[in-house]
Chains A and B, each alone.
Chain A
Amino acid sequence: MKADPHMHNSIYTRFLVARLFVVLALVLAAGAAFAQGSLKSEVPTIDIKNGTATATPIVVVPFHFEGATLPPETDVADVIANDMNRCGQFRALPKSDIVESPTRGSEIKYATWNMLKQAYILVGREIENPNGDIRVEFELFDVAKQQPLLGSGLAISGQRTGMRDVAHQIADIVYEKITGVRGAFWTRVAYITSTGVGNSIQYSLMVADSDGFNPQTVVKSREPLMSPAWSPDSRRIAYVSWERGNSSIYVQEIATGSREVVSASKGINSAPSFSPDGSKLALTLSYGGNPDIYIMDLAGRSKTQVTKHFAIDTEPTWMADGQSLIFTSDRSGKPQLYQAPIGGGDATRVTFSGEYNADPSISWDGKRIAMVQGSGNVYRIAVLDRATGESKAISPGNLDEHPSFAPNGSMILYAATEGSRGVLYAVSADGRVRQRLVLADGDVREPAWSPYRQRGQ
C-alpha cells in the first residue's frame, strides 16, 4: 500500500502545529506557575503506585486547539488520561508513545493503534467561542471494531480557567460509555490540613478537585478542625471545630462561606453525617453521660436518640435508603461496626473478623463497607463484602485512616502517614492502583469524597 504523500504531509503539518501549541501551553503554564508562587506549591504531585496488566488500554490523543488566540493552559487530554489511569480500570498510552495526532474520527488510522494494542481511542478539538469560552468536541472509537462509541456532535463548553472541569466531565462520559458505570472524576474532595507546630499551629478545612487540583480554603482555625462531611447536594459541609473551646458542629455553605453552629451541647459534639435526603444530620453527642448516636432534624433542630449504651458509639454513616446507620461501637470490648435502625431498636454487629474495625464508608449500593482495620499497631483500610462477610486490606501503610468511597464506588480516598506528615491516597476499590495526592506542605488528613456534582456548581 502506497502512502499518500499529501495526506502524510497534511497530518505531519498538523502534528507540528499541535506540537508547537503543546510547547506554548507548557511555557504558559510554567510562566503562570512562576507568577503565582502559591499556586505552584499547591499543585499536587500525582504518583501512580502500581499499574495493572488487566487494565484496558486507551489512547487519549492531545486535543487540537482551533482559535485565534492561545490555547488554554490546561492540557485537556492529559487530565483525561490521568483520570483514566488513576481509576485502575484503564491504562492510558504514555504521551511519548502517541505517534500520530488525529483530531477527528476520519483521521484515525486504526492499524497504528491496533499495532500499539489500544482498545479505545479518544480524539478531540478545542474551539474558541467568540465570548472567549472554549467548546471541547470529542469522539470515542473502538479500535478493533473501527466504530464510533461516542460520535461527533458531543461537546462540553467552559471558561478558559475551567478546562480541568471540562476534562473531568469528558472522562466521566468516556468511563460510563465503556464500563456502563457513571464516572466520578468530576467530583471534589474535602480534607483537613494542619501546618506549624505548638502555638503557631493552623488548621484548615479545604476543598479540591478529586485529583487534588484547585485547592480552596473553606475555613481556617487556630483550634482543631475535624470530620468534614458533604451534604448530598454537595453545597454544604458539616464539620467539627474546637474554636469555641469545646467541640461543636458547624454546617457551612461552601459558595458563600456562611455557617451556623448546629450542635454545641455539653460533652463531645462530633461525627456529623448528612442523611441521603439532606434534611437530617446523624451525630455523636455525650451530654447524656457517654457518647451515643443521635439524629438531628436540621430544620427544627429536634433530636432523636438512636443508640443508648454505656460503650462508645460513634462514626455514624447512613445507608443509602436512609433507614439505618452503620457505626462504630466498643460495646464488645474493642471497636467494631454495628448497624441500627434510625428509629431506635437493637443494633446488630456487622464486623466479626479483626480485632479493630472502625470508621465506615459505605458504597452507594450498600454492598461494600470500607473501614479502618487495626491489628496490633498496624491500621489499614479494608473493604468488607457484605454478601460474603469477607474483608480485604487495600492499603499497605501502618497508620492508614478515614476511607471515603467515590460516589460510584470505583475508588476510595484515605489518609496515610509518611514520616512526620499525613498524605492522601486514592486507591482503586480493588486495591490494585494507588495514586498519592501530595497537597502543599503540612499534615493532610480526613479526605471526604463529594457526591456527584450538578452542572452550575
Chain B
Amino acid sequence: MKLPIRVLLTAVAASSMLVACTGKKVKPDQTTTDSGGGTTTQGSTSGKKYTPGDLDTDSCLRQRVVYFDFDRSEIRPEFQAAVACHADYLRQYPSARVTLEGNADERGTREYNTALGERRGNAVSSAVGAAGASSSQLNVVSYGEERPVCKEHGEGCWQKNRRVEIVYTSKQ
C-alpha cells in the first residue's frame, strides 16, 4: 500500500498548508508571509483573493504543469505551492473546472503508461482536493505516452513528458 499512503501524506501536507493560509484570509495584505507549511516557496500567493485574470498573470497560478520522477507519482516538494494556489482558486470559484491530464515518458509499454499517467493525475487531484477544491471540480484524464511535448530519446526530453497538465475547462 505504499503508493496510496504517499498520496495521502502529500494531501495531508497540502491541506495543512491550506488551513494555515485560510486563517490569514482576513488579512490579504500579508500574502507574501511564509505560511509555515515548510514547503511553500516564494511563488505562493495562497490566501490571496484571486480574479479569473490572475490565471494568466499570477506567477503561481500560471504554473500549470507538475513534473514527476521516472515511474513515480509522488508530487515533488517544488510543486506543492502550485497545487495549493490552484486549490485556493478553485475554492474561491466553485464553478471553475479543471482537467488534470496525466502523461508519461516513452519508456515502458503504452498500456502501463496509460495507467501511470492516471496515477499521476490522481495524485494531483487528491492533493488539490485535500487542499480545498471540490471533487466535482476535478476531472482526471490519462494520455499515457500518447501526447509527448517532445520526442527526443533522452532524459532531457523524458522529464518534460512525465507530467500532469492542469487545464482549466471553466475559469469561473
| Residue A180 is within 8 A (CB to CB) of chain B in the complex | no
* Chain B residues closer than 8 Å to A372, beta-carbon distance: 108-109
| Residue B4 is within 8 A (CB to CB) of chain A in the complex | yes
| Residue A242 is within 8 A (CB to CB) of chain B in the complex | yes
User: B3-20 interface mask toward A, CB cutoff 8 Å, 1 = contact, 0 = none?
Assistant: 110000000000000000
Given contacts A242-B146, A310-B1, A328 and B106 within 8 Å (CB-CB): no
Complex CA distance for A227 and B113, rounded to whole angstroms: 12
Highest count of chain B CB atoms <10 Å: which of A284, A312, A356, A402: A312
User: A236-277 interface mask toward B, CB cutoff 8 Å, 1 = contact, 0 = none?
Assistant: 000010100111000000000000000000011011000000
Q: Which of A260-302 contact B (CB under 8 A)?
A: 267-268, 270-271, 284, 286, 290-291
Given contacts A226-B114, A242-B143, A268-B118, A335 and B108 within 8 Å (CB-CB): yes
Q: Which of B62-90 contact A (CB under 8 A)?
A: 71
- Contacting A224 at CB < 8 Å: which of B108, B140, B146, B153? B146
- Contacting A328 at CB < 8 Å: which of B1, B3, B4, B109? B109
Given contacts A227-B110, A242-B146, A399 and B153 within 8 Å (CB-CB): yes
Say yes or no: A227 contacts B111, CB within 8 Å.
yes
Q: Which of B111-163 contact A (CB under 8 A)?
A: 111-112, 114-116, 118-119, 140-144, 146-147, 151-153
Complex CA distance for A402 and B110, rounded to whole angstroms: 9
Interface contacts (Cβ under 8 Å), in number, total: 86
- Contacting B114 at CB < 8 Å: which of A314, A330, A358, A379? A314
Say yes or no: B108 contacts A291, CB within 8 Å.
no
Say yes or no: B4 contacts A310, CB within 8 Å.
yes
| Residue B107 is within 8 A (CB to CB) of chain A in the complex | yes
Given contacts A224-B147, A358-B109, A314 and B153 within 8 Å (CB-CB): no
Where the two chains meet, the residues of A that have a C-beta atom closer than 8 Å to any C-beta of B are 224, 226-227, 240, 242, 245-247, 267-268, 270-271, 284, 286, 290-291, 310, 312, 314-315, 328, 330, 334-335, 356, 358-359, 372, 374, 377, 379, 398-399, 401-402, 417, 420, 446
Say yes or no: B107 contacts A314, CB within 8 Å.
no
Residue of B nearest to A197 (CB): B151
CB distance from A72 to the nearest CB of B (A): 39
Given A291-B118, A314-B115, 7 more A-B residue pairs with CB atoms under 8 Å apart are: A227-B110, A268-B114, A284-B115, A286-B118, A310-B4, A330-B112, A359-B111
* Chain A residues closer than 8 Å to B141, beta-carbon distance: 242, 245-247
Highest count of chain B CB atoms <10 Å: which of A242, A268, A290, A334: A268
